Structure 1
Amino acid sequence: MQVEMSLRLLKAGKHVLQEKPAAASISEAETALSHYNSICASIPGQPIWAVAENYRFEPAFVECKKLMEEIGDMMSIQVIVEGSMNSSNPYFSSSWRRNFTGGFILDMGVHFIAGLRMLVGCEIASVSAITSHVDTMLPPPDNISSVFQLENGCSGVFVMVVSTRAPKIFWRVVGLKGTLQLERANKEGSHGYQVSFHGADGQCKSSFYPFSGVTEELKTFIHDISQATLKKGSSYEAETRLSFVEGARDVAVLDAMLESGIRQGALVQVKKF
């Protein structure tokens, strides 16, 4: 009910920060954006519609985006997600996650696509995917293996298993001058990301960044609504990392992968926003 409730609040002139995913499907996102644009056209100051995608605010991703310039031209990308969504996970029993196409693949997956898109700084143009349903305790599908191509021509793989006995999550980008890897990790009881950079000199530099994306996204939203209030009556450009459009683009990639899976691996173009 997020999208419907968000639009009602926006129509009433309220700024909104909703949870991800931005929408349950690409068609819902398109319709929602059309309504939002109509609302903005009729309300001075334009209410802000933000999506709480904390991965775009995690310090590890912010730093890695800067390091991407040092690896040179991208040659290959890997995103491997081996999750731990089982009956002991507090999100496991959420009924709504079982009642829309994609289930946990879409709900969890938007995080990993957001991280991928932020790192490479380029949109995903097309995908080809195979999906399967193995663990009947989970909604279908619970496994996806996809090949994707960026608009700049570079290709990569996105592999996601919803539930495994040995969870592992990482993004790896191989460039002409170096390799960058960002992996979920735990250091001295603190959960976060381990960033490894292998440069042209053969040396490896490694840093650990604790989770703080949720705090940072909330700070940013508060700053945005404060500025929008001060500049009431004139348009204010809110932080794009929080925008509904960015959230919709994450959904578009997974929507295309899920469609390809249904079509037995057919090549699917990702919807542009």
Structure 2
Amino acid sequence: MSNTPGIAILGAGIFAKEAHIPGLAALGEAAPALKAVYSRSEKSAADTAAAAVSQLNLSSAPAVYHDGGDQSNSLDALLARSDISAVIVILPIMVQPEVIIKCLAAGKHVLSEKPMAPDVDAGVQLIKQYTDVFKPKGLVWRVAENFELEAGFVAAAKTVKEGKIGDIISFRATIVNHIQLDNKYYKTPWRTIPDYQGGFLLDGGVHFAAGIRTVLGKPIERLSSFAALNRELLPPHDTIHVIAAAGRAHGTVAVTFASPTTSKAEADDYVFIGTKGWIGIKIIWDKMVYRIATKWRTSAEKEEYKEEEETTEVPFGEGVKHELGEFFAAISGKKDAQAVGDLMDTLRDVAFIQAALTSNGQPIDLTKLIEGSGNAA
């Protein structure tokens, strides 16, 4: 078992049960002890605590905390516990900012689910509060953006960094999703009628922005976009088409949650073209892998033309395990902890989606969007 004092999970929804608890289980002895689970409802907290007993092979269930009961079972009571040093926040988008600050104020390290905030203004305010008040106290706050550590994007980023395909000059991402009324995420009340911008495009779209910046090695800087609502069950928007720039690299990003059928046309892939070659990342759903194809020129311009190619497959869906591991490494003071879940990087992911939703064909500079926030210093 990790030497780090205990942790708590705040939020007892689908992703807590199906991603974070399995992620803790996969870490085994490297994960701190799960001491408590909080949810707004006692039933959902108890259900998640029971799932933790089964998946983590615990001898006793984590303590259950919830709203509306005795003060001893409240979130404040959980945060007052000295045997809990860190929390994993997996709450609805509009609730998270207040809870993040509450946890930091209680002296807890925080790993909060993406998006880091519902909009740029809220994100800038959160980062300023953390930087001014809580970071000087040695508290760690990271954002749980698992696409940064998904094997497909990590492997492609490594290839790009090694210079195999040269400097990236062009990129393309096409992501297609079909949402049905019985979709387990759609049935979540706060997603069915979202009170935040973009609906599924914000909730899921920041992932795709993170995957692109991971491979590019830099965030998107400027974009022009059109947003649309094509299926009335997915307000306020379900589709964006973006032309984007990151330094020398220009590209397109098309994201839709409005596919009319469960089967998809050619989609769920990313292509990055460099000065010496290209690399493509495609999710193969029936195998749960990323297929990475790379082709590059091995000869100099004046020599006889030669090229090489390779295709590899790496696991899909292990990003949560890795982000948890890196967070625990960071809060325990390990110097080799990867610098992932960076606040400004994940704020830029939010800025990408916000700009894509509001551009209506006009160019938007994402740096200026962030700097022009009403909460910017």
Common topology (TM > 0.5): yes
5 Å-filtered alignment, 1:35-50, equals 35-40=129-134, 43=137, 46-50=138-142
Task: Evaluate the alpha carbon distance shift between residue 125 and residue 41 of structure 1 in structure 2; reply closer, same or farther with a 3 A threshold.
Answer: closer
Measure the CA separation in 1 of the matches of 2:339 and 2:227: 32
5 Å-filtered alignment, 1:144-183, equals 144-150=240-246, 152-164=247-259, 165=261, 166-167=263-264, 168-183=267-282
Contact 1:256/1:268 (<8 A) preserved: yes
Residue type matched to 1:161 in 2? T
1:257 deviation in Å?
1.3
Task: Evaluate the alpha carbon distance shift between residue 73 and residue 87 of structure 1 in structure 2; reply closer, same or farther with a 3 A threshold.
Answer: same
Residue type matched to 1:160 in 2? V
1:216 deviation in Å?
0.9
Name the residue aligned to 1:25. Answer: 119
1:238 deviation in Å?
6.1
Measure the CA separation in 1 of the matches of 2:343 and 2:169: 30
Residue of 114, 117, 132 corresponding to 2:213 = 117
Name the residue aligned to 1:60. Answer: 152
Residue of 300, 313, 332 corresponding to 1:226 = 332
Task: Evaluate the alpha carbon distance shift between residue 178 and residue 59 of structure 1 in structure 2; reply closer, same or farther with a 3 A threshold.
Answer: same
5 Å-filtered alignment, 1:1-273, equals 1-40=95-134, 43=137, 46-68=138-160, 69-97=163-191, 98-150=194-246, 152-164=247-259, 165=261, 166-167=263-264, 168-186=267-285, 190-200=287-297, 201-211=306-316, 212-227=318-333, 239-260=338-359, 264-271=360-367, 272=370
Contact 1:86/1:163 (<8 A) preserved: no
Measure the CA separation in 2 of the matches of 1:108 and 1:11: 29
TM-score if structure 2 supplies the norm length?
A: 0.65
Structure 2 segments unaligned to the other structure (5+ residues): 1-94, 298-305, 372-377
Q: Deviations over 1:55-104 (max 9, x none)?
A: 11112211111111211122211011111332242111223232211111
Residue type matched to 2:224 in 1? S
Structure 1 segments unaligned to the other structure (5+ residues): 229-235
Q: Which has the larger radius of gyration?
A: 2
Measure the CA separation in 2 of the matches of 1:202 and 1:32: 48
TM-score if structure 1 supplies the norm length?
A: 0.88
Measure the CA separation in 2 of the matches of 1:176 and 1:75: 7
SS of 1:242's partner is coil
Structure 1 stretches of 4+ moved >6 Å:
none
Q: Give the strand-richer structure, 1 or 2.
A: 1
Higher relative contact order (CA 8 A, sep 6+): 1
Q: Deviations over 1:147-178 (max 9, x none)?
A: 0111x232100101113223431110111211
SS of 1:64's partner is helix
Number of equivalenced pairs: 258
Task: Evaluate the alpha carbon distance shift between residue 40 and residue 194 of structure 1 in structure 2; reply closer, same or farther with a 3 A threshold.
Answer: same
Contact 2:143/2:341 (<8 A) preserved: yes
Contact 1:192/1:210 (<8 A) preserved: yes
Measure the CA separation in 2 of the matches of 1:125 and 1:244: 16
Contact 2:241/2:255 (<8 A) preserved: yes
Measure the CA separation in 2 of the matches of 1:247 and 1:125: 13
1:41 deviation in Å?
5.8
SS of 1:199's partner is strand
Contact 1:48/1:238 (<8 A) preserved: no
Residue type matched to 2:321 in 1? T
Contact 2:223/2:245 (<8 A) preserved: yes
